[in-house]
Structure 1
Amino acid sequence: MNTRPQDLVLTPRGIRFLGRTFPCAIGRGGVSTSKREGDGATPAGVHRIMGLMARPDRVRVAGEAFPIGPRDLWSDASGEPDYNQHVRAPYGHSHERLRRADPLYDLVLVTDWNWPLAEAGMGSAIFLHIWRKPRHPTEGCIAFRRDHFRWIIDRLEPENRLIVPEALAGR
């Protein structure tokens, strides 16, 4: 797999980006080449970064960010047509709240994993976000220390990709 200096590359030590390596947390299920909804795994592959969401009441960002409001949710209802999509409350199917009491989703980078045309059961909401505590496993996302994540976000360009090598699967 050809990587570029502007790619965010998962390594055993963390995410390598622009010559620096940042510690990160990955899914409790490790890296997987056969991602499924609810397995807690981080999917291997080359993932495009599709956009930034932010809590405007908590953080300010340069450039465009989708503002996370009180009714914003992300559908993880595998059999529904809006599976792995942004939805709004009230929403009668399984979902994850984007506006949380904790700071995990104060800043969120959305990847193109199983998006925008989601295949049922293949997994939803593979985000990059702030971690709960150092290296605390996620549900499949990649999470960072807040200041490291801000450093990364401040330097992102449209061509940046997230690379999760298959070689890390099963580790």
Structure 2
Amino acid sequence: MNACDLVLTPTHLRFMNRRFACTIGRGGLTGNKQEGDGATPRGVHRILEAYFRADRMAQPVPWARPIGPQDLWSDASGEADYNSRVRAPYASSHEQMRRADPMYDLILVTDWNYPKAESGKGSAIFIHQWRRPGWPTAGCVAFSRTDLRFIAQHLSPRSRLIIR
């Protein structure tokens, strides 16, 4: 473990000698992640990409890419592009990256089952803004907008999300 890691505990996340309130998946933590189970996968996850809504915020970090109106994330298990960013029109099952609510205004993409996805092992395990404190996610880790932005701005290329 290094100083730039994000470490999830049962009650909060530790990062840079600070504690951050967060929420996890409605299915709790799991060592056997499956598509649609609502659980947050245990493990050591690298943070590979960042996306943001340029119409709602300034670029939070230089490596963040804007989310466009056609950007989707495939959750179509069995498809070649399962658990990756795709563009509309896309007939298979997917999630909108450009949402009406602010939940995906800033997304940090973890390497859970990505970029080489195994069918059925879960998709779109992101770090994003929570709906509200204590409200579970579909498997992601979520924070307040202010905390999420702070975390994104202080990540290093060696940062990992550690979920035990």
TM-score by length of 2: 0.98
CA displacement 1:12-59 (0-9 Å, x = unmatched): 121100000100000000000000000000000000000110000001
In 2, Cα distance between the equivalents of 1:85 and 1:103?
A: 21
Amino acid at match of 1:87: V
The residue number in structure 1 matching 2:87 is 88
TM-superposed deviation, 1:4: 1.8
Amino acid at match of 2:32: S
> Is the CA contact 2:61–2:152 (under 8 Å) kept in the aligned structure 1?
no
TM-superposed deviation, 1:64: 2.0
In 2, Cα distance between the equivalents of 1:8 and 1:164?
A: 9
Does 2:41 align with 1:48? no
Does 2:99 align with 1:100? yes
* Range with bigger deviation, 29-38 or 4-13: 4-13
Unaligned runs of 5+ in 2: none
The residue number in structure 2 matching 1:13 is 11
In 1, Cα distance between the equivalents of 2:83 and 2:71?
A: 13
1:140-155 equivalent positions in 2, closer than 5 A: 140-155=139-154
Give the aligned length.
163
The residue number in structure 1 matching 2:29 is 31
In 2, Cα distance between the equivalents of 1:40 and 1:9?
A: 20
> Is the CA contact 2:47–2:159 (under 8 Å) kept in the aligned structure 1?
yes
Question: Which 4+ runs in 1 deviate beyond 4 A?
Answer: none
The residue number in structure 1 matching 2:135 is 136
The alignment yields a C-alpha RMSD, in angstroms, of 0.6
